[in-house]
Chain A
Amino acid sequence: MRTLQVAQLQAALIAAGGLIIESEPLLTELDTAIGDGDHGISMRAGFSALREALGNNQYEDIYALMRDAGLTLVKTMGGASGVIFGTLFIAGYEGVRGRRDMDADALIAFFEAGAASIAKRGRTEPGDKTMLDALLPAVEAMRQQRLETDDAGLVLQAAYAGALQGVENTKAMISRKGRSKNFREKTLGLPDPGAISLSLIFKGMSDSVNGL
């Protein structure tokens, strides 16, 4: 059974931040087509601050790490994205208080809590063409992978594959939330920028812990 240590998760989040920053032009281009064009810049600002905060700190437990990651995103990103992506890390942190490592089950529970809280806060349902449409398939893929293995690294890798499938699914959806809902039919055929960002977070984390 492979678990993930605090320091490994910290490095994984820093790597995910790097990938988000690199992808800013792609996210901006997409959000300009179907939203107000600020998603990429907002994500870059938030994850630059996250890299800075996490890079300069040592964490007692996973609770402290995730709390810092989530609150940094809320503080430094305006609009909807700060709360949505912050909640990904904030929702489940109470469940990992005092823990210095996470096994596959804890990892799944953590992101399940994130998905439930994001759906509630965002008043969003599957099919609304939001990041939730990547997060829910990611969580489902983690559960499926868990049936095969108790390796937390492999479960994280499955999350990325699931999220990527979710991104693909958003192309066939019409936006019903946020400012992009005003573009309605024009959003058809294009993936949701928030869903892409979510998949990049899982890719960055997975590549980091699996040494890819």
Chain B
Amino acid sequence: MIWNTSRMDYFAADFFQGMGLAMPERYRPIVATKNAGAIMRSDFEAERFAIIISGGGGNGPLFPGYVSRGLADAAVIGAPFAAPNAYTLYETGKQVGLEKGVLFLYNNFAGDYLNNDMAAEFLQMDGIPVESVLVTDDIASAVGEERSARCGRCGIAYLIKMAANCAEAGMSLSETAQALRWANLRLGTLSVYVDFQRNCISYGAGFSGEGAVCSASHMDMPMCAKETCRMLLSDLEPRRGERLYVLVNRLRNTSYADGYIFANLLHGELTQTHSVAQIRVGNFSNIEDVYGFSVTILCADAEQERLLAGTCYTDGFIL
């Protein structure tokens, strides 16, 4: 949750002002409007296109925590749970992407594509090239609909890293967008909520009140890890030559230790049938006030693995 103060309209602005004060080596707040704000890397040099990530405010490290060398160049957020407005996205695009263009990277929610699309049109009218990539990794959303209707969750973390690596490798804006769209198709995330009051584990519940796709009344962590892997693998169906990149995201009330214990169990399950290239544990996004995890798997082939190389240290996690 977030302390609902009388300055709630300036949530993003105040948040980013504080980040800039606390870590001037890393962050510089740039645009602040009512209900939205933007922050950029202090060390960004516009020698290539700019990677701008955005989404609703109040998700913890998503999105400003990903503004870092090797990850995003700027982040734009709105009020808690609401997408940032098109005007703030446009102004941010002008400030950081003026020279070589802008890559908008965001999770697939209506408020986000509406505002990013409008901002993209405004930037293009100014002659600034724009590509937009939507992330659709939530395997429990849009059940029975096409994959492109899914929402986005924490899987965007890996696409942000890939985007930066593409840019550093000298790939063009459109080549980068193409590579990210391809990787998005091999990306899946599942939430696992653990309710100790009702003795119940829910899989696939969303953070805006969406119901779980299934729930179990046992409270056994190894069984939970097994079920989590089963659901993700049956959705992703890893292919020959692909290795798994895994993120274990601790939701807000989860203990530090349990994150690693759960990761160890997941690793044991996954390596029975697949090759795990990397498993990371952290607080990658903490929008949900619950005990539990979200688990992300990216199935990467040799080409994609090349774009996942290197290690990024942010102020909150290692990716």
A residues with CB within 8 A of B = 36, 38, 42, 45, 71, 74-80, 82-84, 86-87, 121-123, 177-179, 182-183
Contact = CB atoms under 8 A, between A and B. Distances in A.
A139 to B, nearest CB: 20
Contacts of B209: 36, 182-183
Given A71-B87, A121-B117, A182-B210, A79 B34 contact: no
Contacts of A75: 33-34, 85, 87
Given A121-B117, A177-B110, A79 B208 contact: no
B35 interface: yes
A122 B110 contact: yes
B86 to A, nearest CB: 5
Given A82-B86, A86-B86, 7 more contacts: A45-B34, A74-B86, A74-B118, A77-B35, A80-B114, A178-B111, A182-B210
B86 A83 contact: yes
B152 interface: no
18 contacts: A36-B81, A38-B81, A38-B82, A42-B82, A45-B9, A45-B35, A75-B87, A78-B84, A79-B82, A80-B83, A80-B110, A80-B114, A83-B114, A87-B118, A121-B118, A123-B113, A178-B111, A183-B209
A178 B83 CA distance: 12
Nearest to B87: A75
A194 B210 CA distance: 20
Given A78-B79, A80-B114, A123-B113, A182 B85 contact: no
B122 to A, nearest CB: 10
A182 B83 CA distance: 17
Contacts of A121: 114, 117-118
B85 A179 contact: no
A204 B259 CA distance: 55
A78 B110 contact: no
Contacts of B210: 182
B110 A178 contact: yes
A122 B153 CA distance: 21
Q: How large is the interface on B (under 10, 10 to 19, 20 to 34, 35 or more residues)?
A: 20 to 34
A180 to B, nearest CB: 10
Contacts of B85: 74-78, 82-83
B115 interface: yes
Interface of A is mostly: helix
Interface in B1-45: 9, 33-36
Contacts of A122: 110, 114
Contact of B87 (A45, A74, A87): A74
Contacts of A182: 206, 208-211
A123 B114 CA distance: 9
A78 B35 contact: yes
A182 B205 CA distance: 11
Contact of B114 (A45, A76, A84): A84
Interface string B96-118: 00000000000001110111011
Nearest to B78: A78
B110 A179 contact: yes
Chain A CB within 10 A, most for which of B81, B114, B206: B114
Contact of B78 (A36, A71, A79, A84): A79
Contacts of B115: 80, 82-83
Nearest to B9: A45
A100 B126 CA distance: 28
A179 B208 contact: yes
Contacts of A74: 85-87, 118
Contacts of B9: 45
Chain B CB within 10 A, most for which of A78, A79, A83, A121: A78
A78 B111 contact: yes
B67 to A, nearest CB: 20
Contacts of A178: 110-111
Contacts of B118: 74, 83, 86-87, 121
A36 B114 contact: no
Nearest to B113: A123
Interface in B215-271: none
Nearest to B88: A75
Contacts of B33: 75
A83 to B, nearest CB: 4
Chain A CB within 10 A, most for which of B82, B110, B210: B110
